[in-house]
Amino acid sequence: MDKLTEAVRGAKTGNEESFRELYDLTNKTALAVIRRYCDVSADYEDILQETYIKVYRSIKDLEKEDKAQAWINKIAANTAIRHN
């Protein structure tokens, strides 16, 4: 099992350290997605934070743990689009 899948499984159980690991493994890519959809660099961090709040609240709904990065990227894109 890779680190991301392991972090997702731990985060699903409410393990805060696992969620931090999930964040550490995925935030750079999520931020790159946000940059594609938002032109205001001052908003990037706010959108990223909002993205991970949504991820935290709905992590238990993620069925395919091996698709976590794509799932987070979709949340990031939608959050950035709605922010504009």
Average pLDDT over the chain, rounded to whole? 96
* Residues 42-54 pLDDT 10s: 999 999 999 999 9
Q: Which helix (H) or strand (E) holds 20?
A: helix 16-37
**Structure confidence at residue 1 (pLDDT):** 67
- Helix then strand count (H, E) for the chain reads 4, 0
Look up residue 78 and give its two tokens: 């939608």
Cα-based distances in Å from 44 to 10, 19, 54, 68: 27, 20, 15, 21
pTM of the model: 0.95
**Residues in the chain where the model's pLDDT stays below 50:** none
**Structure confidence at residue 62 (pLDDT):** 97
**Structure confidence at residue 82 (pLDDT):** 95
- d(C-alpha 6, C-alpha 25), whole Å: 11
